[in-house]
A and B are shown apart, each in its own frame.
Chain A
């Protein structure tokens, strides 16, 4: 596959590893956070960590949209699914995420609720067109990559004259979350998780560009390298971070120049700005309430906002106390620190959200790393 295979070459990976090993300073640690679950997955799948010197520590960040959604939002989606005239649809992983009291959309479906898995918002629009007597609620989640598709779907629904298409918006913003991790008391006061630099997700920046990180590096003096998701992309980005740290620089660098520019995708950004506005605060699993980190639909498009048109009430929900997802998402703990890992909690029977998505840290550990980690 063009633009894929070239970035998976084992020999080049070994050589990049040799260069990294030569350039790291043995007297210090390099604690690098890959924000995005896509990177976590790639690092485990290709064994990138094994190619790195001991003093480069990869810390897995909260960039998995499935993992950061708080239980109350899952309960809310389930409440929609249980309404008689509603078809609730969402991306596949969302159906398996446990809500409170071990419920999930999948279980609601087994109990008779109309829940459908869709691959794209295009499928959700089709559902609305083909089921005029039902209300279609699309449980929208994700970072900057999935927000433009949701925004475009709203525009299309308007053009098509659909009055039975609604969005339950849980879209969140990457830069606010990265900033929040550095500002969290764990990191700031206790110094428990010193982070020296960040790998930034390339696909998010394909939309927003590298520009939103300019302020961040200035303010926090930590380097950010926007990185692709193939193993060689990740290794090259790590080398770029090592070089910045060795030279005492804190800049935004773009490793994924083949699809990311400084300004990003103007058309997609405009569409999102037309339809969405910032929520003053949004709750993240693990990070708590993060100011200006989530998006809601503007009043102008309220006809498509499920929360406005079909309000539902859910009781406040508590996380499963034994699940360590919140600490794992902040880089404070590893999946293997969780008592349930690999025993009560597996990808087939997930107890927490980090085990559901292939991009979740627990699922990545389980699928690729658990033997190494416990050895």
Chain B
């Protein structure tokens, strides 16, 4: 089955539909399962529906955590 991918919302249309972009490809999907999505948001898209919104702040925290988890390498054991 198709994996879900984080995709950028470029346009919100009538009837909970939206146009998203992923890797340069645009697609029409449904926002019927999520709330408060505006253009510019990233959503996780699966079988034509957004399942959830990507939280930018949490994404940055995860990336910061990578740095933390790998930084210890140079510390003396």
Contact = CB atoms under 8 A, between A and B. Distances in A.
Contacts of B66: 12, 16, 232, 236
Nearest to A264: B52
Given A18-B70, A229-B3, A259 B55 contact: yes
Nearest to A156: B32
Q: SS class of chain B's interface: helix, strand, loop or mixed? A: mixed
Nearest to B5: A4
Given A65-B1, A206-B52, A236-B65, A146 B59 contact: no
A257 interface: yes
Interface in A1-51: 1-4, 6, 12, 15-16, 18-19, 22, 38, 41
Interface residues of A, number: 49
Nearest to A11: B70
A54 interface: no
A229, A239, A258 interface centre (most CB from chain B within 10 Å):
A258
B48, B49, B51, B65 interface centre (most CB from chain A within 10 Å):
B51
B14 interface: no
Interface string A77-115: 000000000000001110000000000000000000000
Interface in B32-71: 32-35, 42, 44, 46-49, 51-56, 58-59, 61-63, 65-66, 69-70
Contact of A1 (B1, B22, B46, B58): B22
A148 B69 contact: no
Nearest to B49: A149
Interface in A215-253: 229, 232, 236, 239
A119 B2 CA distance: 9
Contacts of A271: 33
A239 B65 CA distance: 12
Interface in A133-154: 142, 145-146, 148-149, 152
A267 interface: yes
B33 A267 contact: yes
Given A258-B59, A259-B44, A145 B4 contact: yes
A131 B29 CA distance: 22
B68 to A, nearest CB: 10
Contacts of B62: 236, 255, 257-258
A119 B48 contact: yes
A12 B70 contact: yes
B47 A149 contact: yes
A244 to B, nearest CB: 14
Contact of B51 (A6, A121, A255, A268): A268
Query: Would you list the 8 A-B pairs with minimal beta carbon distance, nearest first?
Result: A120-B48, A15-B70, A3-B6, A258-B59, A206-B52, A257-B58, A258-B58, A203-B4
17 contacts: A3-B54, A15-B70, A15-B73, A18-B70, A65-B1, A120-B47, A121-B48, A122-B30, A145-B51, A148-B33, A148-B49, A149-B30, A152-B30, A258-B55, A268-B33, A271-B33, A357-B1
Given A6-B63, A120-B47, A142-B1, 10 more contacts: A66-B1, A91-B1, A120-B49, A148-B49, A149-B46, A152-B33, A206-B4, A232-B66, A260-B52, A357-B1
